[in-house]
Amino acid sequence: MITQISKVLLLSFFLFSCDPNLVDDPIPIVNFDELVINLSFPDYIELNREGGYKDVSDLGGGVRGIILYRISSTAFVAYEKNCSYTPNEACATVEVHSSGLFMIDPCCASSFNFSDGLPTGGPAWRPLRQYRTQFNGNVLTITDEIIN
């Protein structure tokens, strides 16, 4: 026969074992040289309109690369492609979803919005890392300075 204390212990075990794991590892920090992008070049035509995005990982920068998103005529965000949930996993890499409406890590199924990098689904609870951007004329500069 189960005693009252056993019932309380069993109930406590189930209640506390269902809590989400909010203590996963942080994204590693990697220094990189400034990335300078001339938006008048044909490779970056997607970034010449609000809501445009481009994966610029081929330029270097970030832990696993960078996705650029144009918020407005004068503002851009540069997101780290290393997923914020279990970032040390080999497959924890964010990409733009085929719809072009959000970013997703196919490994853990976490999704992130473009406007601020906050998670919108899946187990991730932290936003994607953002790097400082500076826009001057047609030239966009991305630095390794983390802004969130």
The tens digit of pLDDT for each residue in 83-108 reads 999 999 999 999 999 999 999 999 99
Question: For position 22, what pLDDT does the model report?
Answer: 54
64 domain residue, yes or no: yes
Number of domains in the chain: 1
The CA distance from 65 to 142, in Å, is 12
Structure token pair of residue 64: 């696993």
The predicted model scores a pTM of 0.83
Is 6 within the bounds of a domain? Answer: no
| CATH number, domain with residue 80 | 2.102.10.10
* Cβ-Cβ contacts under 8 Å for 140 (sequence gap 6 or more): 36, 37, 39, 47, 68, 76, 133, 134
Please state, for a pLDDT cut of 90, what percent of the chain lies above it: 80
Report if residue 81 sits inside a domain: yes
Residue 21: inside a domain: no
Could you give the CA distance from residue 74 to residue 133 in angstroms, rounded to a whole number? 11
Nearest to 79 by CA among 98, 99, 104, 49: 104
Does residue 73 belong to any structural domain of this protein? yes
Model confidence at 10, in pLDDT bands (50, 70, 90)? Answer: very low
